[in-house]
Chains A and B, each alone.
Chain A
């Protein structure tokens, strides 16, 4: 099945700084990548959908200026949390479209202090 590599697995940053999370498709080309967010003991919630070569589509209530998504190539999609605050602390996970199966990335635990 498709392999998605997500980095970093854990990151701690200071409030006000920005953090970039990368998802790479290792053995396929992903035209679409979904970005989810998971709070402790809560559901995974879809944040946005990135499409190679075009602007990302954000779900209702997600600030596009805070969560910058870039999908510059068919093998790399990135999520940048800008001016992070403690309430942005969460588990972020990527997933390509199902053309390549149902695999998720391994997730990134972001802690903002």
Chain B
């Protein structure tokens, strides 16, 4: 069965304290892996999409990496405004997305 698992469920960081979020997946025929940011009461905001193992993408303090079994979202020197829920999703041979349950990140000043 296709599955996406994110860890940790919640993460509290001091401002400037770098860390990584994990997304492990068991999907046959992966087409793409997506990272989204979601603020309370809002729709998900697209961050990255990765298509093949070894691929990396960066945006400001965020860097996403992909292997054959998992993806990491690295957050370097986070700021309080980075506080949000980070969602990982995979797609197979269609545009349907299978989501993980997310990591709730809180960054304290």
- Chain A residues within 8 Å of B, Cβ to Cβ: 6, 9, 32, 34, 36, 41-46, 49, 91, 93, 95, 97-98, 101-107, 109
Q: With the chains together, A105 CA to B43 CA distance in Å?
A: 6
Instruction: Please tell me if B97 contacts chain A, counting CB pairs below 8 Å.
Output: yes
Given contacts A101-B46, A104-B43, A107-B42, contact A43 B99 (CB under 8 A): yes
Instruction: Please tell me if B44 contacts chain A, counting CB pairs below 8 Å.
Output: yes
Q: With the chains together, A104 CA to B46 CA distance in Å?
A: 8
Contacts of A91 in B (CB 8 A): 41
When the two chains form the complex, which single residue of A32, A46, A103, A107 contacts B97, counting CB atoms closer than 8 Å?
A46
Given contacts A44-B99, A46-B97, contact A6 B46 (CB under 8 A): no
15 other A-B residue contacts (CB within 8 Å) besides A34-B97, A102-B34, A103-B46: A32-B95, A34-B96, A36-B97, A43-B87, A44-B44, A44-B87, A45-B99, A98-B95, A101-B46, A102-B36, A104-B44, A104-B46, A106-B43, A107-B42, A109-B41
- Give the Cβ gap from A26 to chain B, nearest Cβ, in Å: 14
- Give the Cβ gap from A52 to chain B, nearest Cβ, in Å: 15
Do the beta carbons of B42 and A43 come within 8 Å of each other? Answer: no
When the two chains form the complex, which single residue of B44, B46, B91 contacts A93, counting CB atoms closer than 8 Å?
B44
Closest to B4 in A: A43
Q: Can you list 21 contacts pairing A with B, beta carbon distance less than 8 Å?
A: A32-B95, A34-B95, A34-B96, A43-B87, A44-B97, A44-B99, A46-B96, A46-B98, A49-B96, A93-B44, A98-B91, A101-B46, A102-B34, A102-B36, A103-B46, A104-B43, A104-B45, A104-B46, A107-B41, A107-B42, A107-B43
